[in-house]
Amino acid sequence: MKTLLHLPPHVAWANGALSRAPLIRKTTHLGDLAGVFADTDAWQRCDPSQPVYSVEMFDSPSGDGELYTGVTHLNPGCVGDEYFMTRGHFHARREQGEVYFGLQGEGLLLLQNEQGKVRLEQVHPGSVHIIAGFTAHRLINTDSQILSALAVWPSVAGHDYASLAGGFAKRVTVQNLKLMAKEVQNG
- The C-alpha atoms of residue 17 and residue 172 are separated, in whole angstroms, by 27
Of 25 and 45, which has the nearer Cβ to ligand F6R?
Answer: 25
| Binding window for Mn ion (CB under 5 A); candidates: 58-66, 67-75, 79-87, 98-106 | 98-106
Which listed residue (16, 73, 79, 98) binds Mn ion by CB under 5 A? Answer: 98
- When asked if residue 56 is in the footprint of Mn ion (CB under 5 A), the reply is no
Nearest partner of 136 among 152, 160, 156, 158, judged by Cα: 160
- In the complex, least distance from residue 81 CB atom to ligand F6R, rounded to whole angstroms: 21
Q: Give contact residues for ligand F6R (rule: CB under 6 A).
A: 55, 70, 72, 86-89, 98, 137, 139, 151, 153, 157, 159
Question: Are 79 and 42 a contacting pair, CB within 8 Å?
Answer: yes
Q: Which does 86 bind (CB under 5 to 8 A by kind): ligand F6R, Mn ion, none?
A: ligand F6R
Q: Which residues bind Mn ion (CB under 5 A)?
A: 98
